[in-house]
Amino acid sequence: MDAEIIAVGISLLALAITVWLAFKQLSSERAAHHLGIVSDLLDDFRSSQFHDDHRFLAEELPRTYSPELGVAGLPEEVRERFYRVLYFYQKVALLTALGILSDRRFVQLLHQRMAWVWSGVKPHVEIERTRDLNGERLLRGVQDLVESSEGLPVDPLERDLFRRLRR
């Protein structure tokens, strides 16, 4: 009788360990798959052209071009800058909505920059939304992500993230 109880206990322990290992394996596979996606995002983000375009949209666009132009009315070079930066953030918003960037750390690191550029382009986007048949959804993911990330702490996140990297 005691041997049977011990055998059942060992079997249950083995089952629990197997289930735990399976979940760890799935988690590792998911992280490995997402690493490539995050790496691609970082490649886009680290280019000097991206940062020049970002600054232009946040600072120069509102001073230089009337919001009445919308997006379609902007000169081609400005539209290219607009699409390069805003669709980067749209991609971040989509990946967050799909749960690929699920722990929001990436979003927390970007939210100040997203809010900065959004403040510069928002009047143009709002005008464009009134002109295009499908325009009401134009960059809605970026807007939602900016609004939902307002007030997220950055400093504690950076300390936590970089503390992990130093280990």
Query: Which pTM does this prediction carry?
Result: 0.71
Residues 13-21, mean pLDDT to the nearest whole number: 78
pLDDT over 70 (residue 29): no
CA 27, CA 78: separation in Å to the nearest integer? Answer: 42
Distances (CA, A) of 124 to 25, 65, 68: 46, 9, 7
pLDDT of 167 reads 55
Task: Give the confidence band of 165 by pLDDT, cuts at 50, 70, 90.
Answer: low
Query: What is the arithmetic mean of pLDDT over 135-155?
Result: 82
Higher pLDDT, 53 or 131: 53
Average pLDDT on 102-117 reads: 78
Residue 149: count other Cβ atoms within 10 Å of its Cβ: 18
Higher-confidence residue: 102 or 22?
22
Q: Identify the pLDDT of residue 160.
A: 59
Task: Compute the distance between CA of residue 104 and CA of residue 148 in angstroms, rounded to an integer.
Answer: 11
What's the CA gap between 57 and 67, in Å, rounded? 12
pLDDT at 33: 60
Residue whose C-alpha is closest to residue 116's, from 38, 71, 61, 48? 61
- Average pLDDT on 61-88 reads 96
> What is the average per-residue pLDDT within 96-121?
81
